[in-house]
Structure 1
Amino acid sequence: MRISAVRTADLLLPKRLSEQLNPWLLRLDQLFDGSNQHAVAQRVSLIAFSVRIFSAMIALISQVIFARWMGQFEYGIFVLVWVTVVILGNLSCLGFQTTVIRFVPEYLERGQLNHLRGILFTSKTFAVGLTTLVALIGAAGVYIFRDRLESYYVAPFIAGFICLPMIALGDTLDGTARSRSWALVALTPTYIVRPILTLIVMSIGHVTGFAPTAMTAIISAIIATYATSLFQFLVVRHRFKTVVEPGPRTIEFGHWFAVSLPIFLVEGFFFLLTNADVLMVGRFLDPEKVATYFATVKLLALVHFVYFSVKAGAAQRYSELMQSHNQAELGQFARDTARWTFWPSLAMAMLLLVAGKPLLYLFGAQFTDGYPLLFIMVIGVVARASVGPAESLLNMAGRQNICATVYAVTLVVNICLSILLIPIYGLAGAACATAFSMVFEAATLSLTVYYRLGITMFVFAGRSEAKPAKEEI
């Protein structure tokens, strides 16, 4: 029997107080029990937000332990290698992890089960196959050009490439689960199980006498990644048996690839933009500086995960509203997602600026050098939050090309500013380049959504009627 917040208040509270609280409690009931798609999207976003909070706590604790055990130099090596591997694993999916979110609801709505089975099979097979090839080429490249790299990076990078296929599989399974609004199945393995397992394996190695080096940390991450991705694969496959029975597959690889490629460009440029600062710091500065910068960025994730949480719940709903051609409802939902993103992000940002220095001190006294960077970079994070998951709306609306262009330009701006500022101003230059790029990205995406879809996607936008969308050129 479902517990109703409204009924509970009527039973336990004075009548007058209960009547005053009823509008808020009714919203709470609708959030947790509503069957309409708006409520589902809010519920998925809330689940994703909760997972991200727990994940951020786990990541903070594990990274503090790693930094304490390994020291700034070895920790910096691990950070640069792992960030690079995660980027390559994500990019090697070529957008199929998001394409599956777009097509699964469509094929279910139309009853095209053969196509549904085809996209589910193709997305996983393609991602794992391509990343295996990328891993082999990458490892061979590092070995061949080892004389041109710092010696302490060679072995960790070669080992790190072993993770690529399972990172890609995990990303694809994330998208597959999100296509059915299975938020816990989508997010828990990558954001909770994997970091916990990595910490457990690293702890076992530490206790049994293995040196706390970057190589030990990478091997721990490899074991954890394989375990979580394979387990997630079994869970997703089992749950989809209740959605579609085994049967013949219709493979339309050319069509799916044509849709995936622009999405790949959008998400690839976005992912590079999100992580390019760490790579650029690694290019110009030593591992100790990389470690300090990464620890600071890890704290910023406490703010930025609000954006990802809303995006996780909104993508499917965007796709459904595009299919229904309800422009007014789509516009209102887009503005709602901007509000869901901005206000929690702003609150988290204020808390982070207050608690940032003590949190950085947990990594080690030398890591507090990154505290001033928070005041710079938080500007960009809040600016991005003010427009919500605008790029997800553009993707689901078939405007991948223009969205990819926006991110390409933003990435170029970020890299150019990093090349100019980091050699002169060090970590502060990297922070300024990142913050400016985020502000530029947010403004450009908001204008693109307005001119292409006729929707004012901004936190302070009113409830005005949406204009007719312009056709993609």
Structure 2
Amino acid sequence: MRISAVKAADRFLPDKLSKQLRPWLVRLDQLFDGSMEHAAAQRVSLIAFSIRIISAAIALVSQVIFARWMGQFEYGIFVLVWVTVVILGNLSCLGFQTSVIRFVPEYLEHRQLDHLRGILFTSKIFALGLTTCIAFIGAAAVYFLRDAIESYYVAPFIIGFICLPMIALGDTLDGTARSRSWALVALTPTYIIRPILTLVIMTIAHVAGFAPTAVAAVISAIIATYMTSLVQLAIVNHRFREVVSPGPKAIRFGEWFAVSLPIFLVEGFFFLLTNADVLMVGRYMDPDKVATYFATVKLLALVHFVYFSVKAGAAQRYAELMHTHDHDQLSQFASDTARWTFWPSLAMAIILLILGKPLLLLFGAQFADGYPLLFILVIGVVARASVGPAESLLNMAGEQKICAMVYAVTLIVNICLSIVLIPAYGLAGAAFATAFSMVFEAVTLALTVYNRLNITMFVFAGRTGAAKEEV
């Protein structure tokens, strides 16, 4: 049983101090006991943020070790291959990993358990089946086009495709767990367990005398991904047996696919947008430059994690509020999520700019060349954080198509700028293209949410009248 923060303060602190802290302690109690209106979403966001911070620390340590062991060139090869494989694995779910977040609460609320069993079964089988086909096609394409590809990329790419089904399964299980606000089950496997296992396996290979090449790193990541996804599958299936007993499944693939496809376009364009800079650097520059840019972006992920954490807690709540048809409540929650995203992101951005150079030096002296890029990239990240998880709100409101168009245009802007700026200005050109694209994305999303939902989703928009009355 949890101890009340208010009672603990009354008991152990001086009366004056206890009274001064009471408003904050009341909010803390409401956050953890669920009495606060948005407590569940805040708890999930807080858990997700904590997991992401731990994950960032693990990723930083592991990537520093990888870079030190492998050298800048081999590390750059591994980075480009692994980023490509992760992108393909995520896209291969075709949006089912997010649409399941929308359908599970709906089916539970209306007690449509046969539909619930159907979506849980279909989402996993579809992801596994499609990615297996894509993996075979991708490996075959790389093999037959090997003469047109730099030789050092051929073997890592062919091997990397083996991992596609498990990456897709892991993403689907992430969404399935998030549909029930099981933040630990959703995020821990991918963001904590998998990178730790990858590092452990790579360490064992290194101690055993295997050369620290890109191929060795890819194989380590594949083994870790298979182990993690299969364990997560067992846990999610066990927990859902407590929610819905085994029984008949109603398969409504056409309906689910119709919803998932626009979401796929939204998240696909967003995922490509998030990683397009690394891919474009790999297209125009050597692996050592890819390594430097990726290390810089990896540090920037510390700021990105705030957005992803809020999104993890907000998506289900958006879906619930859409079903209640309470526009004022939805509008206020949307404004809240923008604030939850912006202020921590701004604080972490400032800290990152202060500590960025020493952190990059951990990778190696040559990686410090990426430090000036942080000042460019941070502008885009903070601008993006100012509108919170706006695309998630649009998805849950059934506005997937317009959201997909926003990301498509933003991706085109990013690629066009990269094509022009990277050959002329190198890594600085890639950073500017990315930062400008993120500012463009934030402005466009905010305008879209306002025009489509009549909601001002911006950190400085102020509180709604209903919310002011509550305060």
Please give the TM-score of this superposition, normalised by the length of structure 2: 0.98
The Cα offsets for residues 322-352 of structure 1, whole Å up to 9 and x where unpaired, read as 0000000000000000000000000000000
Q: Give the SS at the match of 2:242.
A: coil
Structure 1 segment 201-216 matched on structure 2, within 5 A: 201-216=201-216
The Cα offsets for residues 300-339 of structure 1, whole Å up to 9 and x where unpaired, read as 0010100000000000000000000000000000000000
1:126: which partner in 2? 126
| Offset, 1:14 | 1.0
2:281: which partner in 1? 281
For residue 244 of structure 1, what is the amino acid of its counterpart? V
1:39: which partner in 2? 39
For residue 122 of structure 1, what is the amino acid of its counterpart? T
Structure 1 segment 294-333 matched on structure 2, within 5 A: 294-333=294-333
The Cα offsets for residues 361-394 of structure 1, whole Å up to 9 and x where unpaired, read as 0000000000000000000000000000000000
For residue 419 of structure 2, what is the amino acid of its counterpart? I
In structure 2, what is the Cα distance between the partners aligned to 1:54 and 1:170? 19
2:181: which partner in 1? 181
In structure 2, what is the Cα distance between the partners aligned to 1:86 and 1:234? 22
| Offset, 1:465 | 5.4
| Offset, 1:33 | 1.4
In structure 2, what is the Cα distance between the partners aligned to 1:102 and 1:263? 11
For residue 371 of structure 1, what is the amino acid of its counterpart? Y
In structure 2, what is the Cα distance between the partners aligned to 1:3 and 1:107? 35
In structure 2, what is the Cα distance between the partners aligned to 1:117 and 1:352? 45
In structure 1, what is the Cα distance between the partners aligned to 2:378 and 2:19? 40
1:363: which partner in 2? 363
Structure 1 segment 63-102 matched on structure 2, within 5 A: 63-102=63-102
1:471: which partner in 2? none
Task: Determine if contact 1:155/1:215 at 8 Å carries over to the other structure.
Answer: yes
| Offset, 1:37 | 5.3
| Offset, 1:464 | 3.0
In structure 1, what is the Cα distance between the partners aligned to 2:285 and 2:100? 39
Unpaired segments ≥5 residues, structure 2: 467-471
In structure 2, what is the Cα distance between the partners aligned to 1:276 and 1:236? 32
2:469: which partner in 1? none
For residue 226 of structure 1, what is the amino acid of its counterpart? Y
In structure 2, what is the Cα distance between the partners aligned to 1:450 and 1:59? 37
Q: Give the SS at the match of 1:388.
A: coil
For residue 163 of structure 2, what is the amino acid of its counterpart? C
2:245: which partner in 1? 245
1:375: which partner in 2? 375
In structure 1, what is the Cα distance between the partners aligned to 2:38 and 2:113? 25
Q: Give the SS at the match of 1:372.
A: helix
| Offset, 1:36 | 5.4
2:106: which partner in 1? 106
| Offset, 1:15 | 1.1
1:292: which partner in 2? 292
The Cα offsets for residues 394-451 of structure 1, whole Å up to 9 and x where unpaired, read as 0000000000000000000000000000000000000000000000000000000000
In structure 1, what is the Cα distance between the partners aligned to 2:262 and 2:304? 24
Task: Determine if contact 1:37/1:317 at 8 Å carries over to the other structure.
Answer: no
The Cα offsets for residues 207-257 of structure 1, whole Å up to 9 and x where unpaired, read as 000000000000000000000000000000000011000000000000000
Structure 1 segment 225-236 matched on structure 2, within 5 A: 225-236=225-236
The Cα offsets for residues 43-102 of structure 1, whole Å up to 9 and x where unpaired, read as 000000000000000000000000000000000000000000000000000000001000
In structure 1, what is the Cα distance between the partners aligned to 2:331 and 2:109? 22
| Offset, 1:152 | 0.3
Q: Given the alignment of the two structures, is residue 161 of structure 1 paired with residue 161 of structure 2, yes or no?
A: yes
Distance 1:36 1:110, change over 3 A: farther
| Offset, 1:196 | 0.1
In structure 2, what is the Cα distance between the partners aligned to 1:326 and 1:78? 48
Task: Determine if contact 1:175/1:186 at 8 Å carries over to the other structure.
Answer: yes
Task: Determine if contact 1:269/1:404 at 8 Å carries over to the other structure.
Answer: yes
* Greater alpha carbon shift after TM alignment, 452-461 vs 11-20: 11-20
Q: Given the alignment of the two structures, is residue 402 of structure 1 paired with residue 402 of structure 2, yes or no?
A: yes
1:469: which partner in 2? none
Q: Give the SS at the match of 2:38.
A: helix
The Cα offsets for residues 117-144 of structure 1, whole Å up to 9 and x where unpaired, read as 0000000000010000000000000000
* Greater alpha carbon shift after TM alignment, 139-148 vs 457-466: 457-466
1:419: which partner in 2? 419
In structure 1, what is the Cα distance between the partners aligned to 2:399 and 2:342? 23
* Greater alpha carbon shift after TM alignment, 18-27 vs 289-298: 18-27
1:115: which partner in 2? 115
| Offset, 1:19 | 1.0
In structure 2, what is the Cα distance between the partners aligned to 1:401 and 1:2? 44
For residue 132 of structure 1, what is the amino acid of its counterpart? T
In structure 2, what is the Cα distance between the partners aligned to 1:151 and 1:7? 66
The Cα offsets for residues 162-186 of structure 1, whole Å up to 9 and x where unpaired, read as 0000000000000000000000000
Structure 1 segment 211-222 matched on structure 2, within 5 A: 211-222=211-222
| Offset, 1:17 | 1.2
| Offset, 1:31 | 0.9
1:149: which partner in 2? 149
In structure 1, what is the Cα distance between the partners aligned to 2:463 and 2:359? 40
In structure 1, what is the Cα distance between the partners aligned to 2:362 and 2:312? 31
1:429: which partner in 2? 429
In structure 2, what is the Cα distance between the partners aligned to 1:14 and 1:381? 42
| Offset, 1:35 | 4.7
In structure 2, what is the Cα distance between the partners aligned to 1:98 and 1:90? 11
In structure 2, what is the Cα distance between the partners aligned to 1:257 and 1:34? 34
Structure 1 segment 192-207 matched on structure 2, within 5 A: 192-207=192-207
In structure 1, what is the Cα distance between the partners aligned to 2:252 and 2:160? 33
- After TM superposition, which residue ranges in structure 1, 4 or more long, deviate above 3 angstroms? none
1:470: which partner in 2? none
Q: Give the SS at the match of 2:29.
A: helix
For residue 233 of structure 1, what is the amino acid of its counterpart? L
Matched residue pairs, number? 466
Distance 1:57 1:70, change over 3 A: same
In structure 2, what is the Cα distance between the partners aligned to 1:83 and 1:329? 39
